[in-house]
Amino acid sequence: MDYINYILMALIVIFILQLFIPTKGVRNITTSELKNELKNKDKQFIDVRTPGEYKGFHIHGFKNMPLHQLAQKSNELSKEKEIVVICQSGMRSQKASKLLKKKGFKNITNVKGGVSAWR
């Protein structure tokens, strides 16, 4: 019985750690680094927050593609261009980065701290 509890605890710890470990092959930048990249027309800027959050405030140049729709809408994105992903705090954009990576996108950048850090 104790053996099963140890296995369950280990699985829970692994699951929690995976939420915070950056996705392999995804570049992470700060909002101050983002300011230098916004002028680059060869990049795709994606905001994965809800339409309501996006409407309330968004960074000029970012297109709204809510996380729950990203799998279906990813075909609208070019695999040839870098994708810069942002959300409110950095958690959803990290999930979006993993999703895009699984869909075959290679050049993905996650904005740490999200829109909250931008303000």
Nearest to 69 by CA among 46, 91, 90, 88: 46
**E strands along 5-119, which residues?**
26-29, 43-47, 63-64, 82-86, 108-111
Tokens representing residue 60 in the block? 């000029």
| Residue 83 amino acid letter | I
Q: Annotated catalytic residue: which of 85, 87, 96, 100?
A: 87
HSE-CB of 29 using CA atoms within 13 angstroms: 17
Active site residue 87: yes
Q: Which residues are catalytic?
A: 87
